[in-house]
């Protein structure tokens, strides 16, 4: 109950709670009241804390660390697994950045123009919170409007809660909005009261004053490369920082260079040429030459490699000749061993020898029968 009130209302409700619960003389309640500047929303409203007010952020990090580090690990195992955890978190961040840059959420509210404007400007996680506030803005009504010279002041009220009223000031010159709830100053997102005023004014986009740079999709694009390069650190960390900053600019270049065919070809040729020069400069000229040739001449045929066997598989089918066998006796092509002119089968055989051989076989067979 004490979260969404101002200072005067907080003091009034605190006194009523003391009398109702009879805890006015309790020591820990007195001590809690003396520390109200550190926990009461009515007093810390307007101070930017990015939504972090408890130890939930630290506990969430500890839970992720628990998946990689155990208490039985030594110093070497701890450092190794800690590095794995850091790489895991960085990979998740890269995935979320990819979804924010290339994904388009489905519109769900009654105000598609404002919702689409939030989807274009905010990252995915921040957009989900913005959409919830946009859905709740329908329960806010404008009960009073005061027009001044440089601004217009709107008095808003929640549905059936007349005791909760907030004022929204719209400055014409800077096109900026300020609400007495100070959610924009505390968290960096427009509150339901400002969104209700935008709906009332029939504005279909989010003004630049309501889009905090740290919650936008281009937050990392605005990071200056030289400021990261000058920071001290190990060579590996400096390299990762340089690569992260460079990739953000490459993503931005890719989005605009691929819109037209002429821009795509010219940028691709220049990138291939610059890559070739840098590769040669850093001692990897062979790889650069191959990549440059592939980028300029297109995709080439693969290098032919001799396969196992006779090697006839590399010849086209129509060019293959008829395989001719050689004689194993004389080595001449055109006949086999059984038909070789100089072979044993080609010698003339006497008829008398054939007859005597036949009679010898008959005698042996007859003697075997008698036996």
Predicted confidence (pLDDT) at residue 366 exceeds the cutoff of 60: no
Q: What is the pLDDT of residues 222-258, one digit of tens each?
A: 554 444 444 444 566 667 667 777 877 887 888 888 8
* pLDDT band at residue 354 under the 50/70/90 scheme: very low
Q: Is the pTM of this model over 0.75?
A: no
Token pair in block for residue 77: 């195992």
Token pair in block for residue 58: 């630290």
**What share of the chain has pLDDT > 70, as a percent?**
73
Please, are residues 153 and 145 in contact by the beta-carbon 8 Å criterion? yes
Q: What is the pLDDT of residues 322-341, one digit of tens each?
A: 667 778 788 788 777 787 88
Query: 33-41, long-range: CB within 8 Å, 24+ apart, which pairs?
Result: 40/2, 40/10, 41/2, 41/3, 41/4, 41/5
Q: What is the pLDDT of residue 98?
A: 81
Please, are residues 68 and 88 in contact by the beta-carbon 8 Å criterion? yes
Q: What is the pLDDT of residues 162-218, one digit of tens each?
A: 888 889 999 988 889 999 888 898 888 999 999 999 999 999 999 999 999 889 887
**Alpha helices (H) along the chain:** 7-21, 27-34, 36-39, 41-44, 56-65, 75-102, 112-121, 124-136, 183-186, 192-200, 225-229, 235-257, 261-281, 285-297, 351-370
Lowest mean pLDDT segment, chosen from 100-114, 136-150, 193-207, 349-363 = 349-363
Q: What is the pLDDT of residue 228?
A: 43
What average pLDDT score do residues 280-302 get?
56
Token pair in block for residue 340: 């070789």
Lowest mean pLDDT segment, chosen from 53-67, 71-85, 119-133 = 53-67
């Amino acid at each position: 109950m004490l979260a969404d009130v101002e200072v005067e209302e907080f003091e009034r409700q605190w006194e009523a709670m003391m009398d109702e619960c009879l805890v006015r003389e309790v020591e820990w309640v007195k001590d809690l009241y003396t520390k109200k500047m550190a926990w009461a929303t009515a007093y810390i409203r307007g101070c930017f804390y990015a939504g972090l007010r408890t130890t939930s952020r630290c506990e969430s990090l500890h839970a992720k660390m628990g998946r990689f580090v155990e208490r039985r690990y030594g110093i070497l195992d701890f450092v190794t697994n800690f590095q794995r955890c850091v790489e895991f978190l960085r990979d998740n961040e890269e995935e979320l950045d990819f979804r924010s840059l290339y994904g388009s959420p489905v519109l769900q509210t009654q105000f598609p123009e404002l919702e689409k404007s939030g989807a274009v400007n905010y990252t995915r996680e921040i957009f989900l919170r913005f959409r919830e506030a946009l859905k709740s803005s329908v329960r806010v009504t404008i009960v009073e409007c005061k027009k001044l010279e440089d601004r217009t002041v709107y008095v808003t009220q929640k549905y059936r809660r007349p005791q909760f009223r907030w004022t929204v000031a719209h400055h014409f010159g800077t096109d900026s909005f300020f609400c007495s709830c100070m959610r924009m100053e505390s968290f960096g997102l427009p509150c339901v009261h400002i969104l209700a005023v935008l709906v009332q004014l029939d504005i279909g986009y989010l003004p630049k004053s309501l889009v905090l740079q740290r919650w936008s999709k281009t937050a990392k694009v605005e990071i200056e490369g030289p400021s990261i390069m000058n920071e001290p650190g190990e060579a590996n960390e400096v390299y990762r920082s340089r690569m992260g900053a460079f990739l953000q600019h490459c993503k931005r270049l890719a989005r605009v260079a691929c819109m037209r065919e002429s821009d795509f070809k010219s940028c691709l040729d220049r990138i291939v040429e610059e890559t070739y020069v840098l590769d040669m400069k850093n001692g990897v000229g062979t790889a650069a030459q191959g990549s440059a040739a592939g980028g300029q001449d297109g995709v080439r045929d693969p290098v032919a490699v001799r396969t196992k066997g006779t090697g006839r598989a590399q010849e086209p089918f129509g060019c293959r000749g008829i395989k001719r066998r050689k004689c194993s006796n004389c080595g001449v092509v055109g006949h086999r061993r059984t038909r070789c002119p100089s072979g044993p089968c080609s010698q003339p055989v006497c008829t008398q020898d054939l007859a005597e051989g036949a009679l010898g076989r008959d005698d042996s067979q007859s003697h075997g029968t008698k036996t």
